[in-house]
Amino acid sequence: MDNGNLPRLLLVDDCREVCASLARLFKIRCQVEIAYGVRDALFAISFGKFDAIWTDQDMRDGCGLQVLEAAMRCQPHAKRILCSARTPTSLDALLANGLVNEWVEKPAVADVALRIVSTL
């Protein structure tokens, strides 16, 4: 399959090491675009088209839920994946209302991450 036929994934985290590790893992299954924080992600969502958005929850410039809210408005078809070291207190509500389609606890286990991405 050529790269143009792979699903597009926006990977959002303010930690460059996390982005680099996940991008290496995902690049065999997706075209990966990286945003190093909420501001970069909001820009990417407003101008790019993605099949999925994978975002960290807590970042220096905001919360990953802001990213997922923008994705739900601008790209409602995109799968929305929240990843964090701590479970959001409102996780059940976030899953029920569709803001979050998948929850992944950090550190993301490679087989769990690949299972999610393989459904794109």
CA distance 115 to 72: 22
Predicted TM-score (pTM) of the model is 0.90
Q: Which domain holds residue 72?
A: 3-117
**Count of domains observed in the chain:** 1
End-to-end CA distance of the chain: 14
Q: How many CB atoms lie within 10 A of CB 96?
A: 10
pLDDT digits (tens, 9 = 90+) for 99-115: 999 999 887 667 778 88
User: Are 21 and 113 within 8 A, CB to CB?
Assistant: no
Return the residue matching tokens 């075209």. Answer: 31
CATH number at residue 113: 3.40.50.2300
Q: What is the pLDDT of residue 14?
A: 94
d(CA 26, CA 118): 9
- Report yes or no: 11 and 45 within 8 Å, Cβ to Cβ: no
Of all helices (H) and strands (E), which one includes residue 38?
helix 38-47
Tens-place pLDDT, residues 44-85 = 999 999 999 999 999 999 999 999 999 999 999 999 999 998
